[in-house]
Amino acid sequence: MKDTKNPRFFYDSSTFEFLSPLTESLESIVKELNELTSINAGNSWLETFPSYVHSDQPKAWDVFTFKFFGMNHIQNQSLCPITSNLINSIPELISCDFSRMKPHTTISPHKGYSRMILRGHLPLIVPPGNNCAIQVGTDIEYHQTGKMLIFDDSYEHSAWNHSAADRIVLMFDIANPLWGYTPDEICSYKIEHIEDPFLLKIATKTEWAEAYKKGLLPLNS
């Protein structure tokens, strides 16, 4: 359970050895990301939680989804086969996306889906200078290319990109070891209790349940 007197906002990524293939493959992931952004794949990037975003840019925070609570995005995976194969080789990954924040953008304080989950950022493209960061609770960490961050996003957190260029991270979810649930248990629970208005705009509860049985996101079904 959480220690409310001494909360733990960030975790040492080296303790999660199963994540090491991600950092070891950084160069390959970035190469594929650059290839993706060089083509006109704008429709494959989904604007996410716009109510949290403060920016003068359109679609200032968007994601290119590979996997969401155990459901695969087949079209997106086909565009990035190397990254997708790597993600699919790590069964501990619950969800995974490229997450892009455009210049001069702030994401206001909010909380994640569940205490059962820890969120990770592997910074892939970070503009120079200490202009991109995330704050969880009272702690702030600056994004640096290749420096993995693991944090408990069930605590209130915010992020910003004060630079003049895009910041892109590989964003992923893993099980919080404090709770002892398996990835399958977490995915099943999330789909059974889906209530987020943003997600319910994508599909109904019944459609999410059917998609989960198939292992495919509703837009693939």
- How confident is the prediction along the chain (221 residues), in pLDDT tens digits per residue? 455 556 799 999 999 999 999 999 999 999 999 999 988 766 789 998 888 999 998 899 999 999 999 999 999 999 999 999 999 999 999 999 999 999 999 999 999 888 999 999 999 999 999 999 999 999 999 999 999 999 999 999 999 999 999 999 999 999 999 999 999 999 999 999 998 888 898 899 999 999 999 999 987 44
pTM of structure: 0.93
Structural domains in the chain, CATH included, are 10-181 (2.60.120.330)
Neighbours of 196 (CB within 10 A): 12
What b-and-e string marks burial along 168-193, b requiring 16 or more CB atoms within 10 Å of the CB?
bbbbbbbbbeeeebebeebbeebbee
Nearest Cα residue to 101 out of 27, 50, 175, 35: 50
What does the CA dihedral 206, 212, 218, 221 come to, rounded to 10 degrees?
Answer: -110
What pLDDT is recorded for position 5?
52
In DSSP notation, 150-213 reads: EE-TTS-EEEEE-SSS-EEEEEEEEE-TTT---HHHHHHHHHHT---HHHHHH--HHHHHHHHH
Q: 121 vs 150, 153, 171, 197, 201, CA distance in Å?
A: 7, 11, 5, 24, 26
Three-state DSSP state, 43: helix
